Structures are given as structure tokens and as C-alpha cells.
């Protein structure tokens, strides 16, 4: 009995110890979960992606109309893609997916497809060669004509909500019946796939047919109006539940919603991202493969500096010339900067996003950082290739409401419709408080990222399971290369530029697209380094002109320097007519103050301020800074002008102290006699020139209109009353206003 009690006590102690260990383990585990950090995001994302194996998929764009050799080229590409799909593992029990995106291009509805070519493509799509692959016809835009025959041959049709299909018999003579061969072809494809009911296909082909949807005792069915009486003999028809699908006598069309209700469209998807979610395939599966285009002709464009309108203008010109003249079909942008002028960036973003990837494929290569508004350029490209520790995103720290609205519209109207990246993650890179959550699809195991507003708009909310928030409150989203790849923002990560070349099969380094010598000159003159030097030369020239009247060397240098400064910035799209006019008015006020109008310094002070303001505004695209990039540009502008002013002070000191003793320049400067030095040291406020009124003296310098004159061996600053007076001319003092002595030439 004692032994049994001892055994029971020992068991109880062991059980208690086990419970204690479990409690400690749970506590440690909970602490680790409640303290996520940046590294955890990478690990969690990797694990999540690994858990769900997506369906293998490929996308092929079918150009419309189907004519010429389009059918043969599309069939060859389908065979190539099917071979790739069959060699890749897919989700258990699910077929690989081949998406055929019908692209009408610039044509209206893609009309003009040849029936024989369309039928050849359709018969290949229903052939045994594609038994192991699920084919999906994606119609992002409206299509018509015989191209619809190829779409009918796919296993499913997915349409955009605003897309329209129909007018299949466009171009045929309404006074004659449809050719039996054409009618037979549509009936054959419809029976093989059952994607589009036979009656619906025939009604869209033959515009004279009136098609009804009726409810009978055996269910709902489609029937032509001419066959309704015969149907009534064998079926009971509900007269109150009869709908006219096509009235007849006019082209037949089906809108997206109507096609969905009739079972023609299996799903409505407004973009490729929504299509990928519905099919359970990854985003990369429905991107255009640049290697399919054959031989790649690449060009490299450096985006490694502050982006202003001139930068974008020159790069767009260079890219267009490379595409049109050299047949370039791969543009690679080497991005390593923080942004720039938002209007210029939006222009470049739209150019990249709206390019046809089948003609010119765009790649953003980020070895360092694409932060601020520069991230918009990368996000507009077809592929984003990053190094592991490179970063993308992390928008401006401070944005005005107008700038935030411009960025949002660029993302929603330009980037999202033309790419397949997450709109929520893209927007989160430029918003401080924009919560984005991870979601897993219970049906397909796909992982996607939505904000609350996007999730509410999903038609299949019940299929998605909400995970954790991946954004940090108060901070815009910024991702490293590894993190960006895990959330499908980046296409791939590479260790170096060699890895980029290897990914696209490039043997040599892509040729660098560089601006011509004029653009390089403009960029150099508008840069802070040379801009500072031009402003300094201009200010020093004005100062020298005042000190050496009549020579003109300083005035010439100042004119050339300021002309180059404003020309470079005008061509750089930072200076406008306003800055030029402001500078000219400022210089005019200084001339009035120094040479013509005796006053109290108002014109001189105002003119100096206008000159400084014009020089600052000429090197920036704004008046008041509204963002971090604006503050950076303002800093550069202030450094240009402020540095030039400081250097001018040093120049004036050297000019006055040392240059008078120089062998050549001493001849160009006013004589530094004792009388002149005493005159310079004289306090102008205490100078009383009234005793000079009416006296006769002789000019020691040329009066243009100011200069020097000697009265009883005393040098006096004087001003001519009208014309230029040469040196050595007798003058008479006619007026005295404070320190200003007005003289007039005296005839001999």
C-alpha cells in the first residue's frame, strides 16, 4: 500500500513538472510572436509562400485581327509554352493554366480576323495536344469578328467588366444567308467546348436571328424566336419569364455582366492581378516573357541623379531614338537615386508603364536604393531586379496634399492598370499610415496583400483568411531586395550586374544610352558646381566693372557668365521667363542707383534682392519647398548663390588690396593716390559738397555717368548730368545733393 502511494506521488510530481515546462515554452513562444521585426517579415513571408504551391501558368498575347501568319505564330508559341508547363510541377490535382490574352491593339474591336485563320487556331486549341492544360481566354477589352471563334475554343472565358463581345458576322451581306461552312465551324467549336452555347454563337454570327431565353418545365434554355412555337408543342413555357437576348436585325453584343449571367464568361476580372487570383496562379505566371521575342537588343539608361524635367526630356528622346533607329526591345534602367521633380517623374513613369511589353520590355535594376519618388519609376517597369540588400520604397518624409494626390493618381491610373503588382503594397510605399495585411486563399493557397478597402471589394471574401499586418504605422513601406521578391514586388534578386545579364541571357554589357554633347553641356552648366562658378564670375564681373569704369571687361564677363547660367537652367526647365525678367529688372535698378539716380539706396537694395532671388529660383522648379526633394534642391540653390557671395567678398578683398600692384591690371584700375585714399576713407555722411557748387574742375576718369574729378587737387566722386564726359574734360559743379555732386562739361 505504501509502495503504491509512493508511485502515485512520483507520477503526480512528474506531471506537475511537465505542465511547468509546457507553460515556460508557451511563454517564450508568445514573447517571440509579439515582438516582430524586419527580419521576421522576411522569414514569415518565405514560410508562407512555401506552404502554398501555386498552379503553374503562362500568358500569351494574341494580337488581333487574326490574319496573315498570326495563327501560325500563335500556335508555335502555344506549343512552346505547353512544353514548359508540362515540365513544371503544379498543384496536386489541378491542371496548368495557359492564358490567351486577346489584344485588339489600336483596331476597333479587333475586327478583320479571317475566318479560316481563326478556325485553324480554334481547332488547335480543342485538339488533344492541349489536353493536359487548361486554356483561358482573357478579354481585357472588347473584341468582335471571327476572333471570338478562337476565344470560344478555350476552356474558359474571363472578361473585363466593361468589355463587350459580339458582332461576329461583321462585314457579311445581310441580304444573303451565312455561309454554311462558317456556320458549321462555329457549331463545331461550340459543341466541343460548351463555352458559348450553340444558339448564342449562331445568333452573334447571324444578325437576323432573334434569340430568347425562356423558362420551361425542364429549366431555362435559349431558343430562337422562329422555333418558339415548335418548343411549345413539347414543353410548358412560362410566358412571364421570357427574356429577349438579341432582338435581331442588328449586330448582337454581350456586355461583361450579361455574359457572366449567361455562363459565357466564367469570371469578370478588371486586370491581370484579379485574373491571377481567380485562377490561383502567381503574378509572374501572367507576365510577358521578354525572351519569347527572340534576340534581345538591350540598352542601359542611368537614373542616378536628381530627376528634373530636362533629365526626363533627354532620356525619353534617347530611348525613342534607340527603339526606332536601332530596334532596341529591352530597356534596362539602372536606378540609384531618391527622386526629384514629381511632374518629371510622373512623365517618365507613364512612358515606361504604357509601353507594350511584347515590343519593348522594361527592366528596373536596383543595386542600391530607389527611394522617394524614384520608386515610381521602378514600379512602372515590367520587371524589377534588385540586389539582396538594395531597398525600394519609403516615400518622402513630408508631402503636401497636392503632391500626395498626384502620387496616388499616378499609381492608380498609370502603374496599377499596366502592371500586376499589389496596388496596396505600392500605395503603402508612399503613405505613412496605410495598413496592409497578408491574406491566404483557402481554395488556392495563394498569398496576397490587401488593405481594408480592397478586401471589402473582393467578390470572394469568404475564400480569404486574414493574416498579420506587414506595414508599420507612421512609416511608409520600405523593402529590401529579399523582402520585395517575397511579396512579388521584385521579379528576382541578383548578387551583381553579371546576375542581371545571366537572367536575360545577355552575353555582353548593354550599350549605355548617353546624352549628346549639347545635353551634357547643359547638364554641366546647370549643375551646382559650375552653376556656382558662373554666378561668381558674373558677380565679380559686375564688381570689376564698377571699379574700372569705361573698360568693359568686367561687364563683358558678367554678361557671358549670367547668359550661360540662365540659358543652361532655362534648357534644364528650371528657369522660366519670370526669373530672367526678374534678373534684368534687378540689374536695371542697380544701374539706376549707381550711375543715374542720386537717392537713398532703395533701387540698389531692391535690385540686389531681385538678382539674388532670380538666381535662386532659376535653379529650382518651385517657389516654396513642399517636400524633402524640394528642400534638397533649395539647399543646392542656396549653396550656389551663397557660396558665390562669400567668394565675391574674398575676391573684392584681393581685388582692392593686391591687384593694383599687378603689372597689367594696375593700368586698368583707378590711381591709388594719397588723395584718392583720403577720399575713400572720408565718411560720406559727413561730406559737405555745398562749397563746390559753381567750381570748375577736371575729370580724372571718364564719367559714364559717374567717375572722378579733381577740384583744387582734391578728388571728388561726381556724376555727369547728361552725356558721357571723357577723361581730362573741364567740368562745372551745377548741383549738390548730400554726397552726390552733379557736374556739367564746360566748353573750352
The confidence score (pLDDT) of residue 435 equals 93
The confidence score (pLDDT) of residue 541 equals 79
Range from 84-98, 192-206, 399-413, 658-672 carrying the lowest mean pLDDT: 658-672
Q: What is the pLDDT of residues 268-287, one digit of tens each?
A: 998 888 898 888 888 778 87
Identify the DSSP state of 411. I
Identify whether residues 487 and 550 lie together within a single domain.
no
Identify whether residues 155 and 273 lie together within a single domain.
yes
What's the distance, Cα to Cα, between the start and end of the chain in Å? 150
If we measure between CA atoms, which residue out of 590, 613, 611 comes closest to residue 602? 590
Range from 26-35, 131-140, 453-462 carrying the lowest mean pLDDT: 26-35
Q: What is the pLDDT of residues 6-58, one digit of tens each?
A: 454 554 445 455 445 545 444 444 344 333 344 344 434 433 333 445 678 88
Identify whether residues 597 and 712 lie together within a single domain.
no
Is the separation of the CB atoms in 66 and 114 below 8 Å? Answer: yes
Identify whether residues 624 and 739 lie together within a single domain.
no
Whether residue 93 is contained in a domain is answered as yes
Range from 354-358, 385-389, 627-631, 675-679 carrying the lowest mean pLDDT: 675-679
The confidence score (pLDDT) of residue 596 equals 66
Is the separation of the CB atoms in 78 and 98 below 8 Å? Answer: yes
Cα distance between residue 381 and residue 361, in whole Å: 8
Is the separation of the CB atoms in 378 and 411 below 8 Å? Answer: no
Q: Which helix (H) or strand (E) holds 734?
A: strand 730-737
End-of-domain residue from the set 620, 637, 661: 661
Whether residue 113 is contained in a domain is answered as yes
Range from 82-91, 142-151, 435-444 carrying the lowest mean pLDDT: 82-91
- pTM of the complete model: 0.64
The confidence score (pLDDT) of residue 259 equals 92
Q: What is the pLDDT of residues 337-384, one digit of tens each?
A: 888 888 889 999 999 998 888 889 999 999 999 998 999 999 999 999
If we measure between CA atoms, which residue out of 694, 744, 686 comes closest to residue 720? 744
Q: Mean of the pLDDT values across residues 379-395?
A: 92
In the predicted model, is pLDDT for residue 739 greater than 80? no
In three-state secondary structure terms, 219 is: strand
Whether residue 444 is contained in a domain is answered as no
Identify whether residues 204 and 339 lie together within a single domain.
no
End-of-domain residue from the set 463, 493, 512: 512
The confidence score (pLDDT) of residue 376 equals 94
Identify whether residues 258 and 169 lie together within a single domain.
yes
Identify whether residues 504 and 592 lie together within a single domain.
no
Identify whether residues 616 and 738 lie together within a single domain.
no
Identify whether residues 523 and 418 lie together within a single domain.
no
Cα distance between residue 108 and residue 463, in whole Å: 37
Q: Mean of the pLDDT values across residues 419-425?
A: 88
The percentage of residues in the chain with a pLDDT greater than 90, rounded to a whole number, is 23
Whether residue 47 is contained in a domain is answered as no
The confidence score (pLDDT) of residue 22 equals 45
The number of distinct structural domains making up the chain is 4
Sign (positive or negative) of CA dihedral 113, 116, 117, 120: positive
Q: Does 13 or 117 have the greater pLDDT score?
A: 117
Identify whether residues 376 and 282 lie together within a single domain.
no
Local confidence band at 2 (pLDDT 50, 70, 90 cut-offs): very low
Q: Residue 91 sits in which domain range?
A: 57-209+248-286
Identify whether residues 362 and 276 lie together within a single domain.
no
Whether residue 10 is contained in a domain is answered as no
Whether residue 501 is contained in a domain is answered as yes
Range from 57-61, 385-389, 737-741 carrying the lowest mean pLDDT: 737-741
Residues in the chain: 748
Most confident of 203-217, 222-236, 316-330, 698-712: 316-330
Q: What is the pLDDT of residues 152-205, one digit of tens each?
A: 999 999 999 999 998 887 766 555 667 888 889 999 999 988 888 888 888 888
Spatial neighbors of 388 by CB under 8 A, at least 6 apart, are 480, 481, 482, 493, 495
In the predicted model, is pLDDT for residue 220 greater than 70? yes
Local confidence band at 674 (pLDDT 50, 70, 90 cut-offs): very low
Is the separation of the CB atoms in 302 and 331 below 8 Å? Answer: no
Q: Mean of the pLDDT values across residues 318-336?
A: 90
Whether residue 80 is contained in a domain is answered as yes
Whether residue 322 is contained in a domain is answered as yes
The confidence score (pLDDT) of residue 38 equals 41
If we measure between CA atoms, which residue out of 372, 424, 374, 379 comes closest to residue 398? 372
Amino acid at each position: 500500500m505504501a509502495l503504491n502511494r509512493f508511485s502515485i506521488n512520483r507520477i503526480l510530481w512528474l506531471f506537475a513538472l511537465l505542465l511547468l515546462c509546457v507553460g515556460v515554452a508557451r511563454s517564450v513562444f508568445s514573447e517571440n510572436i509579439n515582438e516582430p521585426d524586419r527580419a521576421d517579415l522576411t522569414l514569415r513571408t518565405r514560410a508562407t509562400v512555401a506552404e502554398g504551391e501555386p498552379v503553374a501558368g503562362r500568358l500569351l498575347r494574341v494580337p488581333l485581327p487574326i490574319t496573315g501568319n498570326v495563327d501560325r505564330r500563335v500556335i508555335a508559341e502555344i506549343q512552346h509554352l505547353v512544353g514548359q508547363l508540362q515540365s513544371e510541377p503544379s498543384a496536386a490535382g489541378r491542371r496548368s493554366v495557359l492564358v490567351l490574352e486577346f489584344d485588339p491593339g489600336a483596331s476597333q474591336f479587333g475586327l478583320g480576323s479571317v475566318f479560316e485563320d481563326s478556325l485553324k487556331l480554334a481547332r488547335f486549341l480543342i485538339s488533344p495536344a492541349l489536353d493536359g492544360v487548361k486554356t483561358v481566354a482573357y478579354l481585357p477589352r472588347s473584341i468582335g469578328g471571327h476572333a471570338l471563334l478562337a476565344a470560344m475554343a478555350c476552356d474558359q472565358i474571363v472578361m473585363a467588366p466593361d468589355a463587350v463581345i459580339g458582332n461576329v458576322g461583321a462585314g457579311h451581306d445581310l441580304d444573303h444567308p451565312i455561309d454554311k461552312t462558317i456556320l458549321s465551324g462555329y457549331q463545331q467549336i461550340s459543341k466541343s467546348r460548351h463555352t458559348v452555347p450553340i444558339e448564342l454563337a449562331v445568333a452573334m454570327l447571324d444578325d437576323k436571328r432573334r434569340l430568347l431565353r425562356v423558362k420551361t418545365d425542364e429549366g431555362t434554355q435559349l431558343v430562337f424566336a422562329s422555333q418558339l412555337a415548335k418548343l411549345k408543342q413539347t414543353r410548358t413555357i412560362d410566358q412571364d419569364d421570357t427574356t429577349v437576348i438579341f432582338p435581331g436585325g442588328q449586330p448582337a453584343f454581350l456586355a461583361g455582366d450579361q455574359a457572366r449571367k449567361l455562363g459565357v464568361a466564367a469570371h469578370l476580372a478588371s486586370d491581370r492581378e484579379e485574373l491571377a487570383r481567380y485562377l490561383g496562379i502567381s503574378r509572374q505566371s501572367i507576365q510577358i516573357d521578354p525572351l519569347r521575342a527572340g534576340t534581345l537588343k538591350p540598352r542601359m539608361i542611368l537614373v542616378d541623379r536628381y530627376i528634373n524635367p530636362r533629365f526626363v526630356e533627354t532620356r525619353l528622346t534617347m530611348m525613342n531614338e534607340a527603339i526606332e533607329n536601332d530596334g532596341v526591345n529591352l530597356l534596362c534602367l539602372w536606378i540609384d537615386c531618391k527622386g526629384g521633380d514629381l511632374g518629371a517623374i510622373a512623365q517618365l513613369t507613364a512612358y515606361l508603364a504604357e509601353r507594350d511589353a511584347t515590343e519593348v520590355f522594361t527592366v528596373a535594376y536596383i543595386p542600391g536604393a530607389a527611394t522617394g519618388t524614384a520608386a515610381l519609376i521602378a514600379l512602372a517597369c515590367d520587371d524589377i531586379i534588385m540586389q539582396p540588400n538594395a531597398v525600394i520604397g519609403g516615400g518622402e518624409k513630408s508631402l503636401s496634399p497636392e503632391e500626395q494626390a498626384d502620387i496616388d493618381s499616378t499609381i492608380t491610373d498609370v502603374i496599377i492598370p499596366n502592371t500586376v503588382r499589389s496596388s496596396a503594397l505600392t500605395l503603402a510605399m508612399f503613405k505613412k499610415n496605410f495598413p496592409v495585411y497578408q491574406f491566404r486563399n483557402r481554395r488556392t493557397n495563394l498569398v496576397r496583400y490587401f488593405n481594408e478597402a480592397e478586401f471589402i471589394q473582393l467578390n470572394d471574401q469568404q475564400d480569404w483568411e486574414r493574416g498579420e499586418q506587414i506595414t508599420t504605422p507612421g512609416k511608409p513601406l520600405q523593402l529590401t531586395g529579399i523582402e520585395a521578391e517575397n511579396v512579388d514586388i521584385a521579379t528576382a534578386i541578383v548578387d551583381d550586374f553579371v546576375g542581371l545579364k545571366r537572367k536575360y541571357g545577355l552575353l555582353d554589357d548593354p550599350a549605355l544610352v548617353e546624352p549628346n554633347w549639347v545635353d551634357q553641356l547643359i547638364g554641366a552648366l546647370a549643375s551646382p558646381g559650375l552653376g556656382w562658378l558662373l554666378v561668381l564670375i558674373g558677380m565679380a564681373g559686375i564688381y570689376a566693372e564698377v571699379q574700372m569704369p569705361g573698360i568693359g571687361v568686367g561687364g563683358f564677363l558678367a554678361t557671358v557668365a549670367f547668359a550661360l547660367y540662365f540659358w543652361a537652367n532655362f534648357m534644364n526647365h528650371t528657369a522660366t521667363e519670370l526669373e530672367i525678367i526678374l534678373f534684368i529688372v534687378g540689374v536695371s535698378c542697380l544701374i539706376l542707383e549707381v550711375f543715374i539716380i542720386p537717392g537713398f539706396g532703395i533701387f540698389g537694395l531692391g535690385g540686389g534682392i531681385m538678382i539674388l532671388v532670380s538666381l535662386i529660383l532659376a535653379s529650382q522648379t518651385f517657389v516654396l519647398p513642399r517636400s524633402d526633394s524640394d528642400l534638397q534642391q533649395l539647399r543646392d540653390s542656396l549653396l550656389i548663390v551663397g557660396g558665390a557671395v562669400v567668394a565675391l567678398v574674398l575676391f573684392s578683398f584681393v581685388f582692392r588690396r593686391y591687384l593694383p600692384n599687378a603689372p597689367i591690371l594696375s593700368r586698368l584700375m583707378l590711381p591709388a593716390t594719397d588723395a584718392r585714399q583720403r577720399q575713400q576713407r572720408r565718411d560720406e555722411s559727413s561730406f559737405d559738397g555745398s562749397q563746390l557748387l559753381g567750381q570748375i574742375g577736371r575729370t580724372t576718369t571718364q564719367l559714364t555717368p559717374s567717375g572722378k574729378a579733381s577740384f583744387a587737387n582734391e578728388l571728388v566722386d561726381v556724376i555727369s548730368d547728361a552725356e558721357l564726359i571723357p577723361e581730362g574734360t573741364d567740368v562745372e559743379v551745377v548741383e549738390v545733393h548730400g554726397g552726390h555732386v552733379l557736374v556739367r562739361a564746360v566748353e573750352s
